[in-house]
Structure 1
Amino acid sequence: MKKSETTRRHFIKSTAVATIATALISPTAEAFNILPSRPKLSSTILGHGEFKYKLEKAWGNLNPKNHPVKNCHEMVMDAKKRLFMLTDHPKNNMLIYDKSGKLLNSWTLNLKGAHGLTIHDENGTEFLYITDASNGRVLKTTLNGNIVFEFSNPKAIGIYKASQNYKPTETAIAPNGDIYIADGYGSQFILQYNSKGEFIRKFGGDSFLQPNKFKQAHGVAIDNRDPNNPTLLCSARIKNEFKRFTLDGKYLESYYIPGAYVSRPVIDDDMLYSGVCFGMTKGNYNMQMNQGFVTILNKENKVVSNPGGSKPKYKKGALDIILQDKPIFKHCHDVCVDDDKNLYICQWNAGGIYPYKLHRI
């Protein structure tokens, strides 16, 4: 064997040993789950009054080859402070983050229209309620994605006529365990079931003019800010309104937010948060694309802050029209509030982007 060949083989062997030794001595940051450094928070301040925030756009960013999203629809936080984010990408319907933006887990039910996400504690065990508007499914699952119950399609049990559409968008669970399903993309009813999934009643329906009816009953939530008198808050997106009902379906009142095509109401402490999916522009007061922002209401149901939107102004008790102020968001579909009062914003039709985090100042 030539000396040069012996030298070459010795070099390769030595390099391989050194590489293995280096890997053993200096494992990669990824092996320790150390995230790469993130960009600094934006210097832009969003919001108004006591509800101001700094923006972190890259908070939820992942490798789209491994964990793609189509639309980031909704997010909830469990008792362990984990953030469950629902997407309609069948590869991973659920992405689970910690508050730093680290991915903890993911799973899928192969839902192509996953839309609504609610979390509920039942005697110390938390469950998720997921709606798929594309195929009329409403599922109750464990936090690991195991289906434990599926609600019957209302056409199959005689609640709807064959001609009526059923495209459920959201759920809410009352203190007594009753479940409310908003048919926001279908026939505009709120359907009420008991804790066993047995149908009780439906109310609402489709109308521009009647105050107890909806145009796009997109979201529903239990408003327990008065613990002695919980009520049901429903969004009527096309009417720019939230509507309040008793838990047995009697209409009480509406809150008009001009310019805001609101998503579901999210209650945290005394405040109501909502993503504004569509907006208006000055001089064109029809629904406009890419004009999203966030709106925040106090316990008196007055708008106090609009992160990404114009400052709320009231004249003689009437709210002025709200418009997008900064082009931060495209279509805000949901807001999640953590225990530090930071916000996580999920967006629809925004080019496959991951959730943003708004850090409370």
Structure 2
Amino acid sequence: MYSRRKFIQTTITSGGAVFTTGLPLFNINSNSAQIQKDILGHGDFKYRVERDWSKANSNSHPVNNCHEMVLDKNNRLILLTDHPKNNILIYDTSGNILDTWTLNFSGAHGLTISEEGGEEFLFITDVGLGKVVKCTMNGKILMELEHPSKIGTYTEHAYYRPTETAIGPNGDIYVADGYGSQFILQYDQTGQFIRKFGGDSFLQPDKFKQAHGVAIDYRDPNNPTLLCSARIKNTFKRFTLAGEYLEDHYLPGAFMSRPVLDGENLYSGVCFGMEEGNYNMLLNKGFVTILDKNNKVVSNPGGTEPVYKNGKLELMLQELPVFKHCHDVCLDKDKNLYVCQWNADGVYPYKLHRV
């Protein structure tokens, strides 16, 4: 029987050996037409996979890792990659490239879209440079947050590798230091530091192991809260907008990326997975997970069907080898999904058509 205690005792912070199942349900090396016939997901959240959705040319628009994607109000899909030749690829929903630009960031990782006075802006993090920037939709940098060590928030030698941002209802900026010192740092809309919370701990519920993503949860419109992913703990942690810890949502087996809120549902790419009896992070075991308004898992495209016993969620695993490492999920207005992958041989996003 899987237990949280056993998970904490055996989980490590870096990928372990790759486990290969015996016989997959379909051949991942078969042609895309065959794979596209396969339907992923469970219940009301089922999808047809389109692996060749992107019309980008790998010679002119190469990617290393497709880290994150957002949808703007003009229905354009904006993809962040860590290839310095083109950090941003802008698509229509048919996969055609509309525009590209770059900040020459080789560690581009987090992408958040915000709106101020009817105008949209992008926040981008670079984990290697320790940068968080706000820029226009065509790549002009408007603001860069100061490094925490420069303002006395971190010591000089503390790690700072920001992975994600979220923008609060009053314009406050929340930065997840997911590959660094495991804090969430809060700034006002002008970039002035307010506070930090969280920190590094396996056991303390208000602290993180790999605070990979952060998002504002508006599903209760009268009480927006902050959702943060603690990837190594397989947990989404909820805080007030002032950084007070509220609760955990534990998803055993899911080394998840950032929380993505759409309507009543929460979506996340599961970047690493497990196998029965091995509770370390395993490579090439990704899938997508979907939660309802009550934070109950209702579908796992590419993963096993979610099962609850006595109100507790059972261990979730990859079932079909469609994905390697799901790093982000984006939704369009028709509720189709676009899945970005890390360490997946330079593949462009897959489109999952809602069926």
Q: Shift of residue 96 of structure 1?
A: 0.3
Q: Shift of residue 61 of structure 1?
A: 4.2
Q: Which residue of 2 aligns with 1:58?
A: 52
Q: Which residue of 1 aligns with 2:207?
A: 213
1:73 aligns with 2:67: yes
Q: Which residue of 1 aligns with 2:235?
A: 241
Q: Which residue of 2 aligns with 1:192?
A: 186
Q: Which residue of 2 aligns with 1:330?
A: 324
Q: Is the 8 A contact 1:39 1:58 kept in 2?
A: no
Q: Is the 8 A contact 1:108 1:145 kept in 2?
A: yes
Over alpha carbons, which structure has the higher Rg? 1
The alignment's TM-score, normalised by the length of structure 1, stands at: 0.89
Q: Is the 8 A contact 1:61 1:355 kept in 2?
A: no
Output the CA distance in 2 between the equivalents of 1:140 and 1:53: 34
Deviation digits for residues 317-358 of structure 1 (CA, Å, limit 9, x no counterpart): 100000001000000000001110000000000000000000
Amino acid at match of 1:340: D
Q: Shift of residue 220 of structure 1?
A: 0.0
Q: Is the 8 A contact 1:40 1:56 kept in 2?
A: no
Amino acid at match of 2:176: A
- Cα RMSD of the aligned pairs, angstroms, is 1.0
Of 298, 301, 305, 2:299 maps to: 305
Q: Which residue of 2 aligns with 1:161?
A: 155
Output the CA distance in 1 between the equivalents of 2:34 and 2:138: 33
Q: How does 1:3-152 map to 2 (within 5 A)?
A: 42-152=36-146
Percent identity over the alignment?
68
Runs of 4+ in 1 over 6 A off after TM superposition: none
Deviation digits for residues 225-268 of structure 1 (CA, Å, limit 9, x no counterpart): 01100000000000000000000000000011000000000000
Output the CA distance in 1 between the equivalents of 2:144 and 2:250: 34
Output the CA distance in 2 between the equivalents of 1:184 and 1:284: 24
Amino acid at match of 1:132: D
1:281 aligns with 2:266: no
Output the CA distance in 2 between the equivalents of 1:285 and 1:224: 33
Q: Shift of residue 286 of structure 1?
A: 1.5
Output the CA distance in 1 between the equivalents of 2:284 and 2:212: 18
Aligned length: 324
Q: Shift of residue 282 of structure 1?
A: 2.6
Deviation digits for residues 257-314 of structure 1 (CA, Å, limit 9, x no counterpart): 0000000000000000000000002332211000000000001000000000000000
Output the CA distance in 2 between the equivalents of 1:62 and 1:40: 22
Output the CA distance in 2 between the equivalents of 1:157 and 1:112: 25
Q: Shift of residue 63 of structure 1?
A: 1.4
Amino acid at match of 2:136: T
Structure with larger RCO (C-alpha < 8 A, sep 6+): 2
Amino acid at match of 1:198: Q
The alignment's TM-score, normalised by the length of structure 2, stands at: 0.90
Q: Is the 8 A contact 1:61 1:354 kept in 2?
A: no
Q: Which residue of 1 aligns with 2:18?
A: none
Q: Shift of residue 39 of structure 1?
A: 5.3
Output the CA distance in 2 between the equivalents of 1:45 and 1:353: 20
Output the CA distance in 1 between the equivalents of 2:59 and 2:100: 14
Amino acid at match of 2:189: S
Output the CA distance in 2 between the equivalents of 1:59 and 1:234: 30
Output the CA distance in 1 between the equivalents of 2:135 and 2:181: 25
Output the CA distance in 1 between the equivalents of 2:139 and 2:35: 33
Q: How does 1:308-319 map to 2 (within 5 A)?
A: 308-319=302-313
Output the CA distance in 2 between the equivalents of 1:282 and 1:355: 29
**SS of residue in 2 equivalent to 1:219:** strand
Q: Is the 8 A contact 2:55 2:97 kept in 1?
A: no
**Once structures 1 and 2 are overlaid, which stretch shifts more, 143-152 or 39-48?**
39-48
Of 330, 338, 349, 1:344 maps to: 338
Unaligned runs of 5+ residues in structure 1 are 1-37
Amino acid at match of 2:282: Q
Q: Which residue of 2 aligns with 1:294?
A: 288
Unaligned runs of 5+ residues in structure 2 are 1-31
Q: Shift of residue 211 of structure 1?
A: 0.2
Output the CA distance in 2 between the equivalents of 1:67 and 1:42: 24
